[in-house]
Amino acid sequence: MSKNTLTVTDNRTGKTYELPIENDTIKAMDLRQIKVNPDDFGMMTYDPAFTNTASCKSNITYIDGDKGILEYRGIPIQDLAEHSTYLEVAYLLVHGKLPNLTELKDWVKNITLHTFVHENVKKFMEGFRHDAHPMGMMISTLGALSTFYPTSKNIGDPEEIRISTHRLIAKMPTLAAWSYRHLLGMPYVYPDNELSFAGNFLSMMFKVAETRYTPNPAVERALDVLFILHADHEQNCSTNTMRSIGSSQADPYSCVAGATAALYGPLHGGANQAVLEMLDKIGSKDKVPEFIKSCKAGEGRLMGFGHRVYKNYDPRAKIIKKLADEVFDALGRNPKIEIALEIERIALSDDYFVQRKLYPNVDFYSGLIYEALRIPMDMFTVLFAIPRTAGWIAQWAEMLNDKDQKIARPRQVYLGARGQNYVPVRDRK
Ligand code: ACO
């Protein structure tokens, strides 16, 4: 009869250990009993970058990378992208279920009421250098928000968590748009609470002298769908940072500042920019075969292709590809799309990419849409951070309620020197 255990034999001692299996995992701490001598520390696992370590149990986002499945709280991303709005999805992530009509109205009202920031926030944003990168401005300003809401550090108080959740989701677009206006040297635009979440963001980005900015409905919807697609992606680098900082019981503004910093890196939030640069470098459709040949020869990577988890078409990329057509119908075709489509056509029928299961990822088409929306490259990662805030908060709140969690504190394998003598500086060679 099969048993839900794993038997491990330590060949150093000949001893056998039976470890319980739960949810297809063993507890790393169960290995600690494996010792050669009673005073040994015990066995650990070595897993740089946590490539095969589950750091938590979660009920928020499900990914099956082989089948190309992504679900938030069990609902397929395709259904959410087609039928939902970003704010409804944010509620779903944070509360674990879709809201009824009254809950949705209250939620939207609460988020909308918190879009404004203290005037002093505006003042210190104005103090950044004229060409400050918007992500740098976001990280610092988010950290500074914790000084405006000192009681937010009472993370045991559900009311504090509730209000910080509303504030963070609501204020991200305001800070994001202002960091962009700063780059342009244009006056910051205050939120327009009559507009939708995405519409208000577009207004704060692009309003000039008109009394009221009217967003193009196709652009507003496209942005909202992009927000839905980027709202969560389980234990990625920035979410792991959010949980890690949160595990020390820091306030949520400091946690989101740290998560935003993790997202800033080109390996995480910056790949769509690399795709546009690659398309610019290729220049025209007829140069694609030559470029693909160079990638296969190891002279560079096909940016926007491949994923650590998805070994199939990234489900978000499929939705974005369709969205790109809708945006181009409304705003005109981005000429780079022809190069992108040719890359996809050739790569998906090429043995090199097929054998390695390299498919377009979320970043392959998103940059083309942002470009069509007249959003500059420096803002791409900021546009990722706005919706990911809902995921970060949901993951952080889940961690706070998880009795298994403690302060994050990995172990190390120490390979350095021991027992060295301290030599005074005058005696050193
Ligand atoms: N172009 C060409 N070859 C590639 C690519 C690519 N984009 N991606 C992987 N390969 C090849 C590798 O050279 C390797 O080949 P080999 O077995 O002959 O050595 C094989 O495929 C496996 O590659 P790994 O680097 O081991 O795959 P990993 O899962 O570690 O990397 C990653 C995933 C980083 C996304 C990679 O595919 C890549 O660099 N892609 C391009 C950058 C990109 O689009 N990043 C965005 C990811 S989505 C996101 O972060 C939101």
Q: Is the pLDDT of residue 268 over 90?
A: no
- Helix-helix angle 363-372:380-400, to 10 degrees: 130
- Note the pTM of the prediction, 2 decimals: 0.94
Distance CA 295, CA 129 (A): 38
Q: Give the model's pLDDT for residue 272.
A: 85
Beta strands in 143-248 (DSSP E): none
User: Is any ligand 1 atom within 6 A of the Cβ of residue 301?
Assistant: yes
User: Is any ligand 1 atom within 6 A of the Cβ of residue 171?
Assistant: no
User: Is any ligand 1 atom within 6 A of the Cβ of residue 268?
Assistant: yes
Structure token digits, residue 129: 């250098």
User: Is any ligand 1 atom within 6 A of the Cβ of residue 302?
Assistant: yes
The alpha carbon of 357 and the centre of ligand 1 are apart by a number of angstroms equal to: 10
The alpha carbon of 309 and the centre of ligand 1 are apart by a number of angstroms equal to: 11
Distance CA 36, CA 54 (A): 27
Q: Give the model's pLDDT for residue 127.
A: 97
Q: Could you tell me which of 95, 73, 98, 96 has the C-alpha nearest to residue 85?
A: 98
Percent pLDDT > 70 in the chain is 100
Q: Give the model's pLDDT for residue 266.
A: 80
Distance CA 15, CA 6 (A): 14
Active-site residues, by number, are 268, 307, 363
Q: Which atom of ligand 1 is nearest to the CA of 308?
A: 29
- The mean pLDDT of 261-277, rounded to a whole number, is 88
Q: Is the pLDDT of residue 1 over 80?
A: no
The alpha carbon of 376 and the centre of ligand 1 are apart by a number of angstroms equal to: 26
Q: Is the pLDDT of residue 203 over 90?
A: yes
- The mean pLDDT of 303-314, rounded to a whole number, is 91
Q: Give the model's pLDDT for residue 152.
A: 98
Q: Give the model's pLDDT for residue 235.
A: 96
Q: Give the model's pLDDT for residue 273.
A: 85
119-177 pLDDT, tens digit per residue, is 999 999 999 999 999 999 999 999 999 999 999 999 999 999 999 999 999 999 999 99
The alpha carbon of 358 and the centre of ligand 1 are apart by a number of angstroms equal to: 7
Cβ partners under 8 Å of residue 383, min gap 6? 176, 226, 230, 370, 375
Cβ partners under 8 Å of residue 310, min gap 6? 63, 65, 68, 359, 361
